[in-house]
Amino acid sequence: MSKAKMNYLLDAVIALAFVVSTVTGLAFVAMGSGGYQGGQNAGCQTAFLGIGRAAWSDLHIWGSLIMITGVVIHLVLHWQWIVCMTKKMVRPKPRREEKSCPVTL
């Protein structure tokens, strides 16, 4: 697999996990917070769109874990570029004998 295809696939996984995490987070906002409290909390729903709170929680946790893992892998794959660009930003005028940062990711 080419480096470009691998980066695209990784970015697609991160984006999908972000969407899952965002949608499930918004579902929690719609359901309210504070727990059921034996029927005393009228603002708390135990289900949203026919899906129970526990299932939303599981989706949210797994989506978030996949997103975090993808971002960590992304940072590891691009670490050399990150270091090089950080050096370039901190010291904008490179000396003649220094190599320039690679352009491709």
Exposure pattern of 80-96 as b/e (b: 16+ CB <10 Å)? eeeeeeeeeeeeeeeee
Tens digits of per-residue pLDDT, 39-67?
Answer: 555 555 666 777 777 788 889 999 999 99
Tens digits of per-residue pLDDT, 13-45?
Answer: 999 999 999 999 888 877 776 555 555 555 556
Q: Is the pTM of this model over 0.85?
A: no
Tens digits of per-residue pLDDT, 74-103?
Answer: 999 999 999 998 888 888 665 666 566 666
Rounded CA separation 43/40 (Å)? 9
